[in-house]
Amino acid sequence: MIDMSKLLYREDAFCEKWETVVDDTYEKDGLYYVSLKETAFYPGGGGQPADRGTIADLEVKAIESKDAVPYYGLESSIKGKVECRIEWDYRFDLMQQHTGQHLLSAAFRLVLDRPTIGFHLGQEAVTIDLSGDKLTEAELQLTEQKVNELIYDNRLVTSYYVTVAQLAELPVVKQPSVTEDVRIVEIDGVEYNPCGGTHVLSTGQIGLIKILKTEKQKQGQRIYFQCGKRALETTRNMFSIVEKAADQFQTNSQEVLDRIQKQAADLQSAVKKAEELEVRLEELELKELIQTKAPIATRCYEGKNVKALQRMAAKLLEAGKEFVILSDSAERKLVLTHNLDEFHSGNLFRTSLSDFGGKGGGSAQMAQASFQQTEDLERYVRFLQEHYRSIV
């Protein structure tokens, strides 16, 4: 097992580059894995992803553990003395998110007595799962206010190892899963949390915590949030969207929501009127088809969806038509329905459509089809008309 003193990230999370010596190597799946005498690469764990970086200017492609020792997968074999570098922007982002998660979880406990039962640090957002009922908007805002006040306080964040006896004296957030080398991350005056991850030096380095949304879970509620640079970038993008929307509506950012809601209401009203006109037009079209004496009704439209075609076809059957073929040239869709005995629409479609470049099927009384080309649709309409004449 590796000596804890060789894990530089445990003592100095701000170690960005260092020199060391390759300790051991092996080859696997096209990569050359090396262990280092000292390492500041966080290998991943506890919800925090592994670090990115280079060893001797070679990108670390993978990290795996062998006998509790971290090994780093490289594309070339190396040995001897090497210089290692952490991809710092990525590491610092993870530190902001991880310490931010500790602080936000603490705020939910302090403000609402809601413990965290799950944690995930993703590329876009971070989530924590809370037990209990759905949180109100007021509760979320109150907690968000509290956690950012703890950031403004710039409280110290320290980490250290404790013995079993020392651990028993601390009001830890949760009991650790190990009994040896227990590392505590302490946020001054807030919490003692067993954790092996990398963290900032003070809460002020988190910068900002923004709750984005919530989502119901089986055992409680999932909170999506961002910290630091992520939260700043999201806030900047959201503000830009609001400002562009305000310019579009020729108003200010405070009134843009009212304008959007009014436009949505106007659009809903216009859609309703259009639907009413569509119904009236449909009634006239049906009346025209019903008045024809022929038992077969065939009509091609432009701009009617399959549901409208099916609805009209059913009404034509109710009005006494025997064989109905309705289609739409824009959508290249077709619906067939009938009142004939011993005729199966779906079977006919399944055996004949491939000859016309179409796809579809259906039941005995009603079937539908779609075509790649309008010409194929028109040919199939003629085929159905001829088929009807051959069976009556």
Confidence (pLDDT) at 125? 83
Confidence (pLDDT) at 2? 57
Residue 265: inside a domain, yes or no? no
| Tally of CA atoms within 13 A in the half-sphere of 180 that contains its CB | 3
Kindly report the CATH number assigned to the domain that includes residue 38: 2.40.30.130
Amino acid code (one letter) for 155: R
pLDDT band at 5 (very low <50, low <70, confident <90, very high): low
Residue 182: beta bridge partners? Answer: 162
CA distances for 335 relative to 87, 306, 309, 330, angstroms: 60, 7, 6, 14
Confidence (pLDDT) at 275? 82
CB atoms within 10 A of CB 142: 15
Residue 227: inside a domain, yes or no? yes
Q: Is residue 64 domain-shared with residue 138, that is, in the same domain?
A: no
Three-state SS at 344 = coil
Q: Is residue 73 domain-shared with residue 145, that is, in the same domain?
A: no
Mean pLDDT of the residues in the chain:
93
Confidence (pLDDT) at 96? 98
Sign of CA dihedral 196, 197, 199, 203: negative
Residue 214: inside a domain, yes or no? yes
Q: How far apart are CA 213 and CA 134, in angstroms?
A: 12
Of 23-37, 42-56, 268-282, 365-379, the one with minimum mean pLDDT is 268-282
Containing structural domain, residue 326: 292-391
Q: Please, are residues 366 and 335 in contact by the beta-carbon 8 Å criterion? A: yes
Residue 11: inside a domain, yes or no? yes
Amino acid code (one letter) for 302: E
Q: Please, are residues 208 and 148 in contact by the beta-carbon 8 Å criterion? A: yes
CB atoms within 10 A of CB 96: 24
pLDDT band at 177 (very low <50, low <70, confident <90, very high): confident
**Average pLDDT of the residues in 26-53:** 94
Cα 109 off chain centre by: 27
Q: Is residue 120 domain-shared with residue 231, that is, in the same domain?
A: yes
pLDDT in tens, 116-172: 999 999 888 899 999 989 999 999 999 999 999 999 999 999 999 999 999 999 999
Confidence (pLDDT) at 355? 95
Sign of CA dihedral 45, 50, 51, 54: positive
- Of 28, 59, 86, which residue sits at a domain end? 86
- In sequence order, the 6+-apart residues with CB closer than 8 A to the CB of 178 are none
| Tally of CA atoms within 13 A in the half-sphere of 53 that contains its CB | 25
pLDDT in tens, 251-290: 888 888 888 888 889 899 999 998 888 889 888 989 989 9
Confidence (pLDDT) at 251? 84
Confidence (pLDDT) at 137? 96
Q: Domain total for the chain? A: 3
Q: How far apart are CA 215 and CA 197, in angstroms?
A: 26
Kindly report the CATH number assigned to the domain that includes residue 99: 3.30.980.10
pLDDT in tens, 221-260: 999 999 999 999 999 998 898 888 888 888 888 888 888 8
Q: What are phi and psi of 375, to 5 degrees?
A: -60, -40
| Tally of CA atoms within 13 A in the half-sphere of 275 that contains its CB | 7
Q: Please, are residues 87 and 53 in contact by the beta-carbon 8 Å criterion? A: yes
pLDDT in tens, 297-348: 999 999 899 999 999 999 999 999 999 999 999 999 999 999 999 899 999 9
Q: Please determine, for residue 383, whether its predicted confidence score (pLDDT) is greater than 80.
A: yes
**Average pLDDT of the residues in 172-193:** 92
Amino acid code (one letter) for 6: K
Q: How many residues does the chain have?
A: 392
Q: Is residue 65 domain-shared with residue 116, that is, in the same domain?
A: no
